[in-house]
Chains A and B, each alone.
Chain A
Amino acid sequence: MNDRHRALGRGGLGAVMGAKKLKAIAVRGSKKVSVADAEKLDFIVYEAGKWIKAHPITSQGLPEFGTPVLVNLFNGLGVFPARNFQASQFPGAAKISGEAIAETISAGRQGCHDCPVQCTRLIKTPHTGITAGPEYESIWALGPECGIDDLGVIAEANHLCNRLGLDTVSTGVTIGCAMELVEKEILKEGPTFGDAAGLPQLVKQIAYREGTGNLLAEGSRRLAGKFGAGQYAMQVKGLELPAYDPRGLQGMGLGFATSNRGGCHLRAYMAGPEALGVPKMVDRFSTGGKAGLVINQQNINAAIDSLIACRFINMTVSEEYFARILSAATGVDYSPQDLYRIGERIWNLERLFNLRADLDSSFDTLPPRLLEEPVSEGPSRGKTVELKTMLAEYYRFRGWDESGTPLPKKLQELELEW
């Protein structure tokens, strides 16, 4: 956890720290941070601030509702998965939305130091006291993914995950997977869809590897694999998928499949252009041009992550601002193109690491449900992810061969030929 409430949850960092018996890292500064050109930096921050204060996402939506602002919106678009991705809309969405939180359990807002957005929701419930969250992804994973629409229980389960060092998304999706295995009678005993009362206890059982929790603690891939039912694990490269049904957001599907760390929405947030009009609205059902957009997002996001900058600000101001800020802070000139190149180097390096770890192109895929089972109703009705076409284009545009290995020419270009 960072700043008390912000979880570095995804990808198993908590497990790694636990294995190393590392409880926490404390950082204390004793010197002032200096920048190369403070006047220039002030001017760029002022200009960025104009957009942040004007843009409805950062000036109204996030400050008022936090990330749960997305619940009703994505449910309405039919890209809000439910019951282990068996549906793309959830009837109880309004009860667990940003609006519902504001009207029921909200206890104010908070944010990172000096941030004008202040997107963190403080909540108060009998089981959590005053705490932060749950965020959009956590609401979804511990709610609709498990067929649950009880906001109090979702908040409690989210709070428990944060205290116990569990990733809310992986926890919820693994529970959702178990629920489907029970529904299909593959798993004899276990949680069932909609069982809100049993959720907090199950989270504790996973953390302490007790009872059914011991099975679920392995994650959805190993859980479903143990019963020869891997198709019901909604994961990519072992990381559980987050709160977007890619059958209604084709680019998001390609982003999930090609993410170096597995099922992650933050490597290429294609819901931006496909649903939120950031930076521009594109046809969410179309596959044309999506490979290029995903590659650009993966590259620039890798660079912006290296700046330790917030992704929400990236929804409001373009990479040009980040390049200028970096230049002013360091005294070294960076252009937006430089950031793309830095990001592309990071992306290719990660890919090379994965290939050495035997994570080859066979892992650049999605759960069969998303490729083969059309959405049965709602705005995304009849859609599956058309991954094959997009993936071939993706490899070609990346300068990789057909098996997804970076070509020597590309590595030479990026000065990574070692």
Chain B
Amino acid sequence: MLKDFQKFGRDLFLAGLNSSHSGNLSVRCGDRVIITRRGAMLGHLEGRDLIETGLEKNDSNIILASTEIRVHRAIYKGTTALAIVHAHPVHAIALSLLEDEIIPLDSEGAYLLHKVPVLSAEHTIGSKELEEKLPALLKEYKIVMIRGHGSFAVGQVLEEAYQWTSCLEHSCRITCLTHTFKYNLQVKDTSRYRRW
């Protein structure tokens, strides 16, 4: 398990999807959650950086767990997810500050994600508001953006949640580039994805 956390943590950092200390990963094992340590560097995870705590109940390890533990727990309790990747992808965050939902323009994004909702909250880190709102959206969508903060992606394994994160950022980079070029878009109308 440590190898998986190390692999995807490192990839998230090297791909620029997280800054040095941002983001967190978790997996659900029955009624236990294994989550990265609060303040861990995802690019350099060690054994001490994986914290096991309860899904329903707190125990003493809670004080070492990621600040987003309450959101991870709520997602596991409200969805069928077994793995969660939380990242801070730069282009996706930029678009989340402009849009209420992100509609990928590229084929990969359109095929895989269709539409990514953007959720606003007064408090965006370790927030009770997100704990309440996010699970419902992640029942419907693979990945959701928190405005100005980052993404939460779910999967059955870490690789799956990592893929949605990587794919979203890739799509958002393309969208940002097309906006920068200011040419007329030569793609079909994407507004139908808004109904996804």
Tell me the A residues contacting B by CB distance below 8 Å: 50, 53-57, 59-62, 64-65, 69-73, 97-99, 276-277, 279-281
- Kindly identify, within residues 46 to 75 of chain B, every residue whose CB is under 8 Å from any CB belonging to chain A: 48, 58-67, 69-70
Which one, B38, B62, B70, contacts A64 given CB within 8 A?
B62
Q: How far is the CA of A57 from the CA of B48 in the complex (A)?
A: 17
Shortest 6 CB-CB contacts between residues of A and residues of B: A54-B126, A61-B63, A72-B60, A73-B60, A57-B63, A54-B125
Q: Is B195 an interface residue when CB atoms closer than 8 A count as contact?
A: no
Question: Could you list 20 examples of A-B contacts with CB < 8 Å?
Answer: A53-B128, A54-B67, A55-B67, A56-B66, A60-B63, A61-B58, A61-B62, A64-B62, A65-B60, A69-B60, A69-B62, A70-B60, A71-B60, A73-B61, A73-B64, A98-B60, A99-B60, A277-B38, A277-B39, A281-B39
When distances are taken between beta carbons in the complex, the residues of chain A under 8 Å from B64 are 56, 73, 276-277
Is there an interface contact between A60 and B62, defined as CB atoms closer than 8 Å?
Answer: yes
Is there an interface contact between A65 and B58, defined as CB atoms closer than 8 Å?
Answer: yes
Is there an interface contact between B62 and A54, defined as CB atoms closer than 8 Å?
Answer: no
Interface residue count on the B side (C-beta < 8 Å): 22
Which one, B48, B59, B67, B70, contacts A99 given CB within 8 A?
B59
Q: Is B127 an interface residue when CB atoms closer than 8 A count as contact?
A: yes
Q: Is B123 an interface residue when CB atoms closer than 8 A count as contact?
A: yes
Please give me the residue from chain A that is nearest to B123 by CB atom. Answer: A50
When distances are taken between beta carbons in the complex, the residues of chain B under 8 Å from A50 are 123, 125
Q: Is B28 an interface residue when CB atoms closer than 8 A count as contact?
A: no
Tell me the B residues contacting A by CB distance below 8 Å: 37-40, 48, 58-67, 69-70, 123, 125-128
Please give me the residue from chain B that is nearest to A70 by CB atom. Answer: B60
Q: How far is the CA of A53 from the CA of B126 in the complex (A)?
A: 8
Shortest Cβ gap from B157 to chain A (Å): 25
Which one, A65, A70, A98, A281, contacts B37 given CB within 8 A?
A281
Q: How far is the CA of A69 from the CA of B60 in the complex (A)?
A: 5
Is there an interface contact between B60 and A61, defined as CB atoms closer than 8 Å?
Answer: yes
Is there an interface contact between B39 and A60, defined as CB atoms closer than 8 Å?
Answer: no
Is there an interface contact between B59 and A56, defined as CB atoms closer than 8 Å?
Answer: no
Q: What 16 new A-B contacts, CB under 8 Å, besides A55-B67, A73-B61?
A: A50-B125, A53-B123, A53-B128, A54-B67, A56-B69, A59-B126, A60-B63, A60-B70, A70-B60, A97-B60, A98-B60, A276-B63, A276-B64, A277-B38, A277-B39, A280-B39
Q: How far is the CA of A169 from the CA of B38 in the complex (A)?
A: 30
Q: How far is the CA of A214 from the CA of B103 in the complex (A)?
A: 78
When distances are taken between beta carbons in the complex, the residues of chain A under 8 Å from B66 are 56
When distances are taken between beta carbons in the complex, the residues of chain B under 8 Å from A56 are 38, 62-67, 69, 126
When distances are taken between beta carbons in the complex, the residues of chain B under 8 Å from A279 are 39
Q: Output the residue of A56, A60, A71, A279 with the most chain B CB within 10 A.
A: A56
Q: How far is the CA of A112 from the CA of B37 in the complex (A)?
A: 29
Given contacts A60-B70, A61-B63, A277-B39, contact A54 B58 (CB under 8 A): no
When distances are taken between beta carbons in the complex, the residues of chain A under 8 Å from B37 are 277, 281
Shortest Cβ gap from B107 to chain A (Å): 38
Q: How far is the CA of A62 from the CA of B63 in the complex (A)?
A: 8
When distances are taken between beta carbons in the complex, the residues of chain A under 8 Å from B127 are 54
Q: How far is the CA of A267 from the CA of B127 in the complex (A)?
A: 32
Q: How far is the CA of A212 from the CA of B117 in the complex (A)?
A: 71
When distances are taken between beta carbons in the complex, the residues of chain B under 8 Å from A59 are 70, 126
When distances are taken between beta carbons in the complex, the residues of chain A under 8 Å from B65 are 56
Shortest Cβ gap from A363 to chain B (Å): 33
Q: How far is the CA of A65 from the CA of B63 in the complex (A)?
A: 10
Shortest Cβ gap from B140 to chain A (Å): 26
